[in-house]
Amino acid sequence: MAKKRKVSDIATQRGTSVDDVLAHLKKAGIEVVDGVVNVDEEAIEKAYATAPSAGAPVRRRSGGGPAGKKRRVIIDAGASRRGGGQGGRDRRRGRGRNRERDQQAAAPVVPTGLVKVPSGSSVKDVSQLLGISTPDIIKTLMGYGEMVTITQTLSDEAVEVLAADFGRQVEITRAADEEAELEKEAVDAPDDLRPRPAVITVMGHVDHGKTSLLDAVRETEVARGEAGGITQHIGAYQVRHDGRLITFIDTPGHAAFTAMRARGAKVTDIAAIVVAADDGVMPQTVEAIAHAKAAGVPIVIVVNKIDKPDANIERIKQQLAEQGVVPEEWGGDNVFVEASAKKRIGLENFLDMLLLVADVADLKANPDAPASGFVIESRLDPGRGVVATVLVNRGTLHVGDAVVAGEASGRVRAMRDYRGEPLKAGGPSTPVEIIGFDELPVAGEFCRVVKDERTARSLAHKRATRLKTEALARQRALTLDDVFARIAEGQVLDLNLVVKADVQGSLEALSEALLKIQHPEVKVRIIHSGVGGVNESDVMLASASDAIIIGFNVRPSPAASSLAETEGVDIRTYRVIYKVTEDITAALVGMLKPTFEEVVLGQAEVRATFKASKLGTIAGCMVTHGVITRNAGVRVLRNDVVVHDGRIASLKRFQEDAREVQEGFECGILLDGFNDVKDGDVLEAFETREVAREV
């Protein structure tokens, strides 16, 4: 689209002179009016592509030889291969600078179609990707009040604004999106696919019997080892039924673990949602259904605790039908299974139904491809280092493979199954515990095998750098538009927290639960979070930031405890997550600015006034109600209208100073800075008292 452009701007963009631009435009037949043209970029490109050069400069230099010979005149078009004489020295001296200028002045290639721009790209990167010169980018952003340099990182919003201004179509890409693309690119030939075990995610409301159901299926005692009877971590297990393996992922049902449930639905083939027959559909049940539907996986409903006397299965079916989960006998497509984990009723039918749904899904994978999967859990083990639970979904993972998962990389030094037995290889749908990552991978991260450790480290480093630039792109400099918002935020108190947990999944869920605690006058900020015990570094950070340390299933070291006592840092440890949120909510009440309630102490009627040359007007009063105190605030009411609001400068009973005067007694009152007191005025004494706030 044509637009008005200054010839000087075109010269700056192309790194040439104004005369050179005018010569090209003139030969191309483009009209120039007052140094301005009305053309598009394509017309300028054609002008430079078709028009001949505006002319070559002529330089003269004297040739060698004895005196008296005629001087040679050399027409130098700038392409002489000889380097002698002053001209040659000038060309050698300026050759490097000219090369750099030519590279910068080269017109960027204008892309066609959609352009993918990585989040956190610099001005130079955006210039190359979008085919816009860096001077134009800088000038455009200056018009919006943003001062940038060629190496400065641009925010996603700035890239989109530039694209709109210059007519480009862009898509902002992020590191997480690229990992998802890698996952999608893994396409296998049909002949390479083999049947694999189904991955079942067990979800539902807290205390509805999810872990107890798996407990009965696996014939283990997992539930007894959980704090408060609530599953705190994701567990992956396998069972064999009718000669076939089934992989189970047990996601915690507490509301704080919503993110962990979502990860479970992401890697699952079938979602088994457990509903207690005596309790019915609860909030976490609805969330679990939403996660399963979002993942697009079949849902199997397990009505547990049917042995309870107040079990009402029909009511549960009705409640689930309202959520869009209709049983098969009602004409829907969802399998309903009635069971009792405690009485071991319906377990065989439960497993049979899972295998039936898996057969319909026809689950297959390529066991010979390079292994890939998802990190289910990660933690720091004092004796073994970083331990990660990975669910393999494609290929076969072997001991010795180089792996990368986000910012973490390494080599599989050891591998165990869900029972803790050593493994040499893990195929599709197999949960494996691997040792060998150099740092904790994020739970839910896509994990894959690469050719060697060097490649793994390089990919992890690129990912870490990319995430840092993305974080930098989200940071915006302070502008006039932000000043008022920053001032308003300064009125909000911050409750700083340092959060430490035993495993990555619990840390993520706990952080999310804490950040969900909201109040208009207090903001919860997690200034640091990590996996492992509370150490001295955590205490020093909390001391410097006036923060509270929250430890979930971890304890402070003796040195950290001693330092915390010295620094006055509060360390609180918990084993059940909802206790953390309860305590933090209570702490917020104490952090709130207290409200000030006005309390009227008493009233005094002005009966007479006395003028004192050095003091002012003294009001002779009778206390008609309550008490008048020396330090109280006072209002002057005249016909019930406030004419003055101030303080009492002096309160006397006869000739003596008084701290207070009770009802029914006379007194003299001198007001601070107000002398217009009249007979009949009412002086109302009051004070403001702090009242504790509640959420």
Domains and CATH numbers, the chain: 3-105 (no CATH), 114-173 (no CATH), 197-362 (3.40.50.300), 372-471 (2.40.30.10), 485-591 (3.40.50.10050), 595-691 (2.40.30.10)
- State the burial class of residue 477 (Cβ atoms within 10 Å of its Cβ: 0-12, 13-18, 19+): exposed
Secondary structure of residue 194 in the 3-state scheme: strand
Contacts of 255 (CB under 8 A, 6+ apart): 206, 283, 284, 287, 513
Q: Does residue 137 contact residue 152 with C-beta atoms inside 8 Å? A: no
Enter the tokens of residue 168: 């480009």
Direct distance between the N- and C-terminal alpha carbons of the chain, in angstroms, rounded to an integer: 57
Q: Does residue 496 contact residue 523 with C-beta atoms inside 8 Å? A: no
Q: How do residues 209-261 score in pLDDT, each as one tens digit?
A: 888 888 888 774 455 555 555 555 557 888 888 888 899 887 665 544 555 55
Q: Does residue 146 contact residue 156 with C-beta atoms inside 8 Å? A: no
Compute the distance between CA of residue 652 and CA of residue 630 in angstroms, rounded to an integer.
9
Q: Which amino acid is at 488?
A: A
Q: Are strands 595-612 and 616-629 parallel, antiparallel or unpaired?
A: antiparallel
Which residues are bridge partners to 628 per DSSP? Answer: 661
Compute the distance between CA of residue 618 and CA of residue 610 in angstroms, rounded to an integer.
5
State the pLDDT at residue 83. Answer: 43
How many other CB atoms are found less than 10 A from the CB of residue 141?
A: 19
Compute the distance between CA of residue 133 and CA of residue 127 in angstroms, rounded to an integer.
6
Q: Are strands 299-304 and 335-338 parallel, antiparallel or unpaired?
A: parallel
Enter the tokens of residue 415: 């591998």
Q: Are strands 430-437 and 408-416 parallel, antiparallel or unpaired?
A: antiparallel
Compute the distance between CA of residue 538 and CA of residue 214 in angstroms, rounded to an integer.
38
How many other CB atoms are found less than 10 A from the CB of residue 490?
A: 9
Q: What is the pTM of this model?
A: 0.56
State the pLDDT at residue 178. Answer: 59
Compute the distance between CA of residue 460 and CA of residue 450 in angstroms, rounded to an integer.
11
State the pLDDT at residue 481. Answer: 45
State the pLDDT at residue 381. Answer: 84
Q: Give the residue ranges of the chain where pLDDT is below 70.
A: 1-2, 15, 49-112, 175-186, 220-234, 251-266, 470-493, 521, 589-595, 691-695
